[in-house]
Amino acid sequence: MIKRDKLIKRTKNALKRSIVVSIMGPRQCGKTTLAKMITKTVDPCHFFDLERPNDVARLENPMLALENLTGLIVLDEIQRMPNLFPILRVLADREDSPAKFLLLGSASPDIIRHTSETLAGRVEFVPMGGFDLDEIGHKMNLLWIRGGFPRSFLSNNLDDSFAWRENFVLTFLERDLGQFGIHVSPQTMQRFWLMLAHSHGQVWNASDLSRSLGISYMTAKRYVDILTGAFMVRQLPPWFENIAKRQIKSPKVFIRDSGIFHYLIKVKTKNDLLAHPKLGTSWEGFVNEQIINLFSERNCYFWRTQAGAELDLLYLNGVDKIGFEAKCTDAVKISKSMRIALQDLNLLHLFVVYPGNDTYQLDEKITAIPISDLLPKLRKMLKI
Measure the CA angle with vertex 146, ends 144 and 149; round to 5°.
105
Give, in order, the Cα–Cα distances in Å from 214 to each of 189, 191, 206, 217, 220. Answer: 13, 11, 12, 9, 10
pLDDT of 93-114, one tens digit each?
998 889 999 999 887 766 556 6
Using CA atoms, how far apart are residues 150 and 131, in angstroms rounded to an integer? 7
For residue 184, pLDDT over 90 is answered with: no
At residue 111, the pLDDT reads 57
pLDDT, average across residues 40-63 = 93
At residue 246, the pLDDT reads 58
Domain with CATH 3.40.50.300 in the chain: 5-127
Name, in order, each residue with C-beta under 8 angstroms of 379's C-beta and a sequence gap of 6 or more.
294
Mean pLDDT of the chain: 90
For residue 297, pLDDT over 90 is answered with: no
- Amino acid identity at 303: W
Per CATH, the homologous superfamily of domain 5-127 is: P-loop containing nucleotide triphosphate hydrolases (3.40.50.300)
Using CA atoms, how far apart are residues 299 and 309, in angstroms rounded to an integer? 21
pLDDT of 115-160, one tens digit each?
656 777 788 999 999 999 989 878 999 999 999 999 999 999 999 9
pLDDT of 209-232, one tens digit each?
888 888 898 999 999 999 998 999
Give, in order, the Cα–Cα distances in Å from 300 to each of 94, 229, 240, 278, 287. Answer: 37, 18, 12, 23, 13
Q: Cα(first)–Cα(last) distance of the chain, in Å?
A: 26
